[in-house]
């Protein structure tokens, strides 16, 4: 039986929803995303999704299909087959993806596979980690007088990194690098080789919005020597905007005023 005939024989195909789960904290899931989870029959979720929170909001079957660096993972083609098969069986499917589905989440590949199979789908955007990780660490990716633009790239593809860096004037934008923790030393070297100053402020923000959140700041030349906790996903931020975090930290420290202690206001 052809795919078209199989579809016709079932009478209907349930919708597949690609839903963004944000940077980690389920409080940052969107109202629309939670509604899709409540309605779902099957949820295929990424490795960084809060599973306890997921099971509190849905009665659907839930399977982890996430990918983590240097670990065995479900092949992308298998994820496509699972979504298509479940939809053709009349199930409402949610593909729950960390961050936003279309920001280095392979969401484009998944909707192309669904479209080719004739399966209707929708996108429910999520809070992208590319912005949220920085801002939760007190770092705006744009700031008047420092950066009027930011660039997001994946840090695990060497050739793509070099092509991107050749197209950007050094120290003119905020650089946000996803999937680059393991290659942070090499990335710092590449940035400097392309003209970025060694003393450019840099930061690492791991496990943003979760209880394990961890942040490091320093100079670009020191990035490789930083020691983030093993096993935590993170984001690299490079640019003058990292200085805002330092200002906020200083403003938050207790300030001595005579015999009284006053506190600076957080920006």
Asked whether 10 and 90 are in contact (CB, 8 A), the reply is yes
Predicted pLDDT of residue 138: 97
Q: Is the dihedral of CA 157, 29, 45, 216 positive or negative?
A: positive
Task: Sketch out the chain's domains with CATH numbers.
Answer: 12-127 (3.40.1010.10), 130-249 (3.30.950.10)
Instruction: Give the residue numbers marked as catalytic.
Output: 46, 67
Predicted pLDDT of residue 254: 75
Q: For residue range 198-252, list pLDDT tens digits in order.
A: 999 999 999 999 999 999 999 999 999 999 999 999 999 999 999 999 999 888 8
Predicted pLDDT of residue 139: 98
Predicted pLDDT of residue 9: 43
CA distances from 138 to 142, 204, 231 (A): 12, 12, 23
Asked whether 43 and 61 are in contact (CB, 8 A), the reply is yes
The whole-chain average pLDDT of the chain stands at 90
Of 128, 141, 135, residue with least CA distance to 240: 141
Task: Report residue 5's pLDDT band, with 50, 70 and 90 as the boundaries.
Answer: very low
Predicted pLDDT of residue 13: 59
Local structure of 123: helix, strand or coil = strand
Question: Is 191 a residue whose pLDDT tops 70?
Answer: yes
Question: Is 259 a residue whose pLDDT tops 90?
Answer: no
Question: Is 134 a residue whose pLDDT tops 50?
Answer: yes
Of residues 252 and 35, the one with the higher pLDDT is 35
């Amino acid at each position: 039986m052809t795919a078209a005939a199989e579809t016709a024989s079932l009478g209907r195909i349930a919708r597949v929803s690609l839903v963004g789960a944000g940077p980690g904290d389920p409080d940052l899931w969107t109202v629309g995303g939670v509604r899709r989870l409540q309605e779902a029959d099957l949820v295929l979720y990424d490795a960084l999704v809060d599973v306890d929170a997921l099971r509190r909001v849905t009665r659907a079957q839930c399977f982890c299909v996430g990918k983590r660096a240097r670990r065995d993972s479900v092949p992308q083609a298998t994820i496509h087959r699972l979504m298509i098969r479940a939809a053709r069986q009349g199930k409402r499917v949610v593909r729950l993806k960390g961050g936003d589905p279309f920001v280095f989440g392979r969401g484009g590949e998944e909707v192309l596979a669904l479209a080719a199979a004739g399966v209707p789908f929708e996108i429910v955007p999520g809070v992208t980690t590319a912005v949220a990780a920085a801002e939760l660490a007190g770092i705006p990716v744009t700031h008047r007088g420092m950066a009027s633009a930011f660039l997001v790239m994946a840090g695990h593809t060497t050739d793509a990194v070099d092509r991107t860096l050749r197209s950007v004037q050094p120290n003119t934008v905020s650089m946000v690098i996803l999937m680059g923790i393991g290659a942070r030393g090499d990335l710092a070297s590449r940035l400097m080789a392309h003209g970025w100053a060694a003393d450019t402020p840099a930061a690492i923000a791991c496990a943003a919005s979760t209880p394990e959140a961890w942040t490091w700041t320093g100079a670009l030349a020191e990035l490789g020597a930083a020691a983030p906790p093993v096993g935590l996903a993170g984001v690299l931020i490079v640019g003058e905007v990292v200085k805002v975090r330092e200002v906020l930290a200083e403003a938050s420290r207790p300030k001595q005023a005579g015999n009284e202690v006053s506190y600076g206001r957080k920006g």
